[in-house]
A and B are shown apart, each in its own frame.
Chain A
Amino acid sequence: MKAAVIVFPGSNCDRDMAVAFERAGADVAMVWHKDTSFPSDVDIVGVPGGFSFGDYLRCGAIAAKSPISSSLKAHAERGGYVLGVCNGFQVLTETGLLPGALMRNANLKFICKPVDLTVATAASDFTSGYTKGDVISVPVAHHDGNYNVDDETLSRLRGEDRIAFTYVDNPNGSTADIAGVLSDNRRVLGMMPHPERAVDDNHGGTDGVAMFRSLADGLVSA
């Protein structure tokens, strides 16, 4: 598996994401936001958490217009894999690669704690290492994680089995407890919780390992 992790000014989970990919056996390249292309043969692009461009205007809005973002869209449109976590999820909604938008948490607080997630589908290369209905513990750390989606899109997401994870105890007001969603080709995943912060015993939990491992398995055999 060949992975690239984008670094925006203000990204702060880029190295954690690189480590998680590396541990799953990937070759990882870090790509600066002003670059206009990814290394050739990249299977998956990671869009990391953080506060790209200081969250100015809207979280992820400026990053979504960075030079690298047109390559990101092109990569996704030709069937490449993309994992967007936290600020990365916000960037993916701002680019239009995923539906909906992330708004200020309903309680207005920055929330930083481990949360329980239900695996809502195992039918993707991101979630095939879990069983549908599994409850896993993954940390969240965000101020704008309140996933907002209209009724029509919500029923489409449900009908197409594109809700990847839901919160057991919704911390931020997200519609239908949604914590992560898949694109229609199931190769783009955006989620607010940080699976890359749950891959080592010293993290306090390793429930994120299965995601990176199943990606490595799925993308090697692809």
Chain B
Amino acid sequence: MKVRVDVMLKNGVLDPQGEAVRHALGSLGFEGVEGVRQGKVIELDVAEGTDEATIKEMCEKLLANTVIESYAIHMS
């Protein structure tokens, strides 16, 4: 069973990499890009029937640093 976890920097935490990407898009001539946030996608292949609470525990303990990052779990 595939589960996808999106990890993003929390709103309000400056994302220097996203900012660099935004500038690069601007220099390529793409206008009107007002913000870029860069995160991670983590795909898990877990045993059938693994519940969301377990995935949440994985996120809290390892996959995200909740001091600066938020996460979203997508059970398929």
Contact = CB atoms under 8 A, between A and B. Distances in A.
Specify whether A and B are partners: yes
Interface of A: 57-58, 61, 65, 93-94, 99-101, 103-108, 146, 148, 173
A6 to B, nearest CB: 19
Contacts of A61: 62, 65
Contacts, number: 33
B15 to A, nearest CB: 8
Dominant SS among interface residues on chain A: loop
Contacts of A58: 65
Contacts of A106: 14, 16
4 tightest Cβ-Cβ pairs between the two chains A and B: A101-B67, A101-B68, A106-B16, A104-B16
Interface string B1-38: 00000000100011011001000000000000000000
A94 to B, nearest CB: 7
Contacts of A94: 65
A104 B62 contact: no
A173 B65 contact: no
A57 B62 contact: yes
A146 B65 contact: no
B65 A105 contact: no
B22 to A, nearest CB: 13
Contacts of B67: 93, 99-101, 148
